Structure 1
Amino acid sequence: MSSPVVTRRLVGAASPDNSGRLWVLYGRLVGPLLAGYLLFDRAFAYLHLPGSPLFVGEMVLGVGAAAAVVSTQYLKGPLRDESIFALLGVFAVWGLIRTVPGVATYQMDALRDAVLWLYCLFAFFVTGALARSPELVDRWISGLSRLTPWLLLWLPFAVILYPLSPSAPSVPFSTVSVLSHKSGSAAIAALLVLGVMWLLPGERSARSRVGWSLMALLVVALAATQNRGGLLGVLAGGAVGLAFLRNRVGLAARVVLVMVVGLGVASLLSLKVPMPGLQGREFSASQLVANVVSLGGKDSPGNLGGTVEGRQQLWTRILDKQIDDGHLVDGSGFGQNLASEVGVLDAGKDTLRSPHNSHLHILARMGIVGITLWIALWVGWYWRMVAGCRRLAREGQQTRRQVGVLCLMTSTAVLVSCFFDPQLEGPQVAALLWTIFGIGVAVTTVRPWFRDRTTP
C-alpha cells in the first residue's frame, strides 16, 4: 500500500514495550495462518503437532486466549464499546450450553462439531490485537497484496488437481490429501484478491490489476464448473463491492463483457481441461453453462438437478427428525452424526455429519434460538458496516472505508456459499470470516480503542 492504514493509539494503555506482546504475536500469526488457508485450504488446516489433537488454527487461537488472559485490558475496550460483541457473546454462550451435554456421550465428536460456533473466537481475539496494534491492518493488507501473484498462479492448478486428491499423498499424520483445495474456497480467495486489487491498489499499476484480475476470473470460472455455491457467493460479494464504487456501472459492464466474450469463445472452441479418467464434472465451458442453468433446480441438465434435490431431501429429513424429537427450539446439540441418523451417508463413509448447509446446521444443532441469534448477529453487523462505510466516506477516511467494503464483500461471499457447502465447520473459511468480522468492527468504530493517524 502507498500509505499506512492506521497507527497505534490507545487511551489509557500501557507502553507498547511493556504490555500486549502476546496480542502482537497473535496478530502476526493470523496473517500467515490465513495465507496458508487461502493457498492450501484443508491440507493446511490439518497441519498439526504429532500426537496432539491441536491443529494449526487451534494453536493460533491458543495464543489469542493466552493474550486475553495476560493482557485483558486490550480486549475490554472493544467488548465495552461495541454492542455487536454482546450479541456475538450470547451466540457463543448458547453454543456452549448446547455443547456441554454432548461431551460426556460423544466426547471429541461434540467438540469437533462445536467449532460451528467456537471459531467466533477469531473475531474477539483480532479486535484485542487491533486495540493493541491498529497498524496490523496495514500489515495484513500489504501481506495479501504480496501474496496475490502467488495465489493466482497456484489456484487454477489447485482447482484442477482437486479431483485427483484421492490418489495423491496425504498430509502427514492425517488422511487428508495434499490436494484438498475445495473449489468454493478457491472462488472466495479469488474474490478477496480482486477486492484488494481494486479497492486497495497501492502502487499496483492499472495494467497489472487488469492482468491479475483476468487470472482471478479464470479461477472463478474453473471453480464454478465444480461448485455452484462458490459461483453464487462470488456474484453476491462482487455485487456488494460494486455498490460502493463510483464507477460501478462501467466496471460491471467491463466484467460482464469479458465473461460473456470469454465464455462464448470457449464454448465455440469447445475448450476444456483434459483430465483422463476424471469422474464427475468436467472443467469446460459447457459444464459452466450447465451449472449456471442448474441454479434453477431439479429440472437442470445432467445430474445437477438431482444434486439439488438430494440436498433438499437431506435438509428436510434432518429438520423433520429435529421436530419429531422435540428439539426444534433448542436444537439437537453437538456430537451426534445428523446425516447418519436420518440414513444419509457420504459415499458409504461416515463423514457427512451435517445438513451440508452451515446455516441449517446451526438450526439443527442450536435450534430456533441459535438461528435467531445468528440472523440477528449478521443483520446487526451489516447494518453497522454499511452505516460505518458511508460515514467514513463523508469524513474522507477512504482507506478505512475501502477496508470495510472489502470485509463486506468477502463476508457476503462466504455466507452465500455456506448455503451450499458446510464451510463454517472448518477453519480454512471460518477463520477468514470471523477475522473479517473483527476487522470490520474495528475500522468502522467511532470509539477510542481503535484510532487512525488523523484522530485528534
Structure 2
Amino acid sequence: MPHVSAALSSTSRKGSRGALTWGDRYLTLLAIVLLGYALMGKGFAYLGVPPLYVGEIAFLAGIAIFFRIGTFAGVFVTLPALLLVVLMVWVLARTIPFVGLYGLESLRDSVVVIYGCFAFFVIGLLLQDARRINTLLRYFGIMLLSFPAIPVGFWLTKYWGDYIPRLYGSVPIVEIGASAVGTHLAGAMVFVLIGFRRVSLVWLLVWFITLALVGATTRGATLAVIVPVTIAMLVLGRFRLLLTTMVTAIGLFAVLLTLESTFGEHEEAKNSIDRPVSAHQIMENAQSLVGQSGHQTEGTKQWRLNWWEIIINDTIRGPNFWTGRGFGINLAVADGFAETGNWRNDRPLTRSPHSVHMTLLARGGVPAVVLWALMLVSWFAMLARWIITARARGHEVWSNLLLFVFCYVMAILINASFDVTLEGPMQGIWFWCLFGFGIGSVMVYRAKYPYKTGRASR
C-alpha cells in the first residue's frame, strides 16, 4: 500500500507524547467500532449497557480526545465544516425543546446530524499527526481481508435470521442490511481500483456474488454500488475495464435470465425481505428505477413517494416551513404510516421516511435541508477540486485517496436517499468519519503542497 503522507511539521501539532498516544489509541478504537459495524451490523451496535451502546461510548471518548489534542483552530476553517457546525446548532435548537416531551427519542433522532462530531474528531486527529492517514488506510486494508465475512453475515440475516443467537432482546448478534453491504461493496472496489490493495480472483468472485445478492434485494443499495464504482473507473481512465465488465455482466445476466425462464418459474415476493436472489428479481428492481415493475416492487416505491409528499405538503407548502416538527416525534405515527412498511413484526415500527433529506426536512424544516444541501455540495466540490488539482500536479496517490473517500461517501449518501441509513450508527458513524477524513486529507495535502507541481506523490 502506498504511503500517502509523512508527518508534517506544518500540520502536526507538537504535543506531548501522552497526547499523541491517546490519539492513536482512539483511532484504533474507532477503527474497531467501524469494523464491527461493517461485519456484524445492528448486532454490534447493541453492544453496551443501555443507553450507552458502543457508538455512544466511542462518541463520548471522541469528545474527550478532541479536547485533549487541542486542534480546535484548524478543524473549523473549511466551508463544509463551518456549515456542519451551523446545521448542528439548528438541529439542537429543534431537539432541546422536545426532550421533555419525548425523552431519549429526541436525542436518538438528532444523531442523524449530531454524529457529525465524529467528522471533527477525525479532522483533529489528522491535523495533529498526518501519518494517521496511512494508519487509517492500513486499517481499511485489514477490513478488505475480512470482507468475505460481510456477505456471509448478509446471507445469514436474509435467510437464517430467526436462528441467529440473540443477546439483546430481539436483535441477533449479526444483522447486516443490504444497504450497508452495498456501501461497503462500493468502497472496497474503489479501494482496489485505485491500487491501494491487490486482491485475488476468489475475492473478486465473492464481490460479484454479493453484488447479485444486493441487486436482488434493494434498488437503492444497487445504485450505491454501481454509480460510485462507475465514476471511479471513468476518473481513473479505466474505460476498457468498464466496457468489459458491462459486456460480461450483461452477457451472464442474459444467460441466467434465459435459464430461469426455461427451467423455472418466478413468483413475486410478498415484501422486500423475501425477494429471491434471481435474474428476474434483479430485472424487476432495475425496471422499477426507470419505469413500472411488479406490484410489490412498485408498492414499496409508491409507499415512499406518498410519505414524502405528505412531508413536502407539511413543510414547503405548509405551516412547518421554518421549523419542521422537531426531533422526537414519530413521523410514521404523525403521518399515518405506523402500520406500513414494517415487514418484520418483531422489529420496532419505522420512525423515519426512508430518506435522510426528507427526515431533515420533516424534523428541521426548510432551513435544515438547505443547510444540509449546501454542506454536501461544498464538501463534494472541495474534494472534486483537489482530486483534479492533485492529478494535474502528478500527485496520483493523493488524487486516488481523495477519489476513494469521494466515492465512499457518495455510496452512503445514495443509500441514505432511499433508506433509513444515517439515522443509525451502523452507517451514520461511517458516513461522518469519512466526511471528516475527506476534509482532513485535503487540509494535509494543501499544507504539504501549497504551490508545488511535479511528479512526486509521496
SS of the residue 2:394 aligns to: coil
Residues 80-229 of structure 1: matches in 2 within 5 Å? Answer: 81-151=77-147, 153-164=148-159, 167-169=162-164, 171-202=166-197, 204=198, 208-229=199-220
Question: Take 2:457 and 2:283, find their aligned partners in 1: how far apart are those partners?
Answer: 51
Is 1:434 the counterpart of 2:432 in the alignment? yes
SS of the residue 1:197 aligns to: helix
When structure 1 is superposed on structure 2, of 169-178 and 111-120 the one drifting more is: 169-178
Structure 1 unpaired stretches of 5+:
none
Question: Take 2:143 and 2:181, find their aligned partners in 1: how far apart are those partners?
Answer: 14
Question: Take 2:55 and 2:446, find their aligned partners in 1: how far apart are those partners?
Answer: 30
CA displacement at 1:361 relative to structure 2: 0.5
Question: Take 1:244 and 1:313, find their aligned partners in 2: how far apart are those partners?
Answer: 37
CA displacement at 1:244 relative to structure 2: 1.5
When structure 1 is superposed on structure 2, of 371-380 and 62-71 the one drifting more is: 62-71
Question: Take 1:111 and 1:405, find their aligned partners in 2: how far apart are those partners?
Answer: 33
Question: Take 2:39 and 2:85, find their aligned partners in 1: how far apart are those partners?
Answer: 31
Could you tell me whether the CA contact under 8 Å between 1:122 and 1:435 is conserved in 2?
yes
Q: After superposition, what is the alpha-carbon deviation per residue over 1:11-58, rounded to whole angstroms, capped at 9, x for unaligned?
A: 38324514343322221212111111111122111111x3x4111122
CA displacement at 1:408 relative to structure 2: 1.0
Partner residue in 1 for 2:369: 371
SS of the residue 1:172 aligns to: strand
Question: Take 1:149 and 1:66, find their aligned partners in 2: how far apart are those partners?
Answer: 31
**Counterpart amino acid of 2:156?**
L
Question: Take 1:130 and 1:232, find their aligned partners in 2: how far apart are those partners?
Answer: 31
SS of the residue 1:326 aligns to: coil
Question: Take 2:123 and 2:165, find their aligned partners in 1: how far apart are those partners?
Answer: 35
Could you tell me whether the CA contact under 8 Å between 1:115 and 1:426 is conserved in 2?
yes
Is 1:341 the counterpart of 2:347 in the alignment? no
Question: Take 1:450 and 1:357, find their aligned partners in 2: how far apart are those partners?
Answer: 38
SS of the residue 1:303 aligns to: helix
Partner residue in 2 for 1:9: 8
When structure 1 is superposed on structure 2, of 214-223 and 185-194 the one drifting more is: 214-223
Partner residue in 2 for 1:257: 247
Is 1:65 the counterpart of 2:63 in the alignment? yes
When structure 1 is superposed on structure 2, of 346-355 and 388-397 the one drifting more is: 346-355
- Indicate which of 392, 397, 400 corresponds to 2:398: 400
Could you tell me whether the CA contact under 8 Å between 1:233 and 1:412 is conserved in 2?
yes
Residues 364, 26 of structure 1: CA spacing in aligned structure 2 closer, same or farther, 3 A cutoff?
A: same
Partner residue in 2 for 1:243: 234
Partner residue in 2 for 1:384: 382
Question: Take 1:58 and 1:450, find their aligned partners in 2: how far apart are those partners?
Answer: 34
What's the RMSD between the two structures over aligned residues?
2.8
Could you tell me whether the CA contact under 8 Å between 1:339 and 1:352 is conserved in 2?
yes
Partner residue in 1 for 2:37: 37
Question: Take 2:163 and 2:207, find their aligned partners in 1: how far apart are those partners?
Answer: 26
Could you tell me whether the CA contact under 8 Å between 1:385 and 1:440 is conserved in 2?
yes
Q: After superposition, what is the alpha-carbon deviation per residue over 1:145-187, rounded to whole angstroms, capped at 9, x for unaligned?
A: 2332421x22333232223465134542342123421011111
Q: After superposition, what is the alpha-carbon deviation per residue over 1:175-232, rounded to whole angstroms, capped at 9, x for unaligned?
A: 2123421011111111111111111334x2xxx4554233212211111111100011
Question: Take 2:27 and 2:19, find their aligned partners in 1: how far apart are those partners?
Answer: 14
Structure 2 unpaired stretches of 5+:
451-455
Question: Take 1:263 and 1:372, find their aligned partners in 2: how far apart are those partners?
Answer: 41
CA displacement at 1:62 relative to structure 2: 1.3
Partner residue in 2 for 1:320: 313
Partner residue in 2 for 1:268: 258
Partner residue in 2 for 1:304: 297
**Counterpart amino acid of 1:238?**
V
- TM-score, L = length of structure 2: 0.89
CA displacement at 1:446 relative to structure 2: 6.1
Percent of residue pairs bearing the same amino acid type = 25
Question: Take 2:283 and 2:181, find their aligned partners in 1: how far apart are those partners?
Answer: 19
CA displacement at 1:287 relative to structure 2: 0.9
Partner residue in 1 for 2:453: none
- TM-score, L = length of structure 1: 0.89
CA displacement at 1:83 relative to structure 2: 2.7
**Counterpart amino acid of 2:86?**
V
Could you tell me whether the CA contact under 8 Å between 1:7 and 1:135 is conserved in 2?
yes
Question: Take 2:411 and 2:457, find their aligned partners in 1: how far apart are those partners?
Answer: 32
**Counterpart amino acid of 1:195?**
V
Partner residue in 2 for 1:354: 352
Could you tell me whether the CA contact under 8 Å between 1:84 and 1:380 is conserved in 2?
yes
Partner residue in 2 for 1:422: 420
Partner residue in 1 for 2:281: 287
Could you tell me whether the CA contact under 8 Å between 2:315 and 2:361 is conserved in 1?
no
Question: Take 1:129 and 1:201, find their aligned partners in 2: how far apart are those partners?
Answer: 22
Could you tell me whether the CA contact under 8 Å between 2:186 and 2:224 is conserved in 1?
no
Question: Take 2:167 and 2:155, find their aligned partners in 1: how far apart are those partners?
Answer: 23
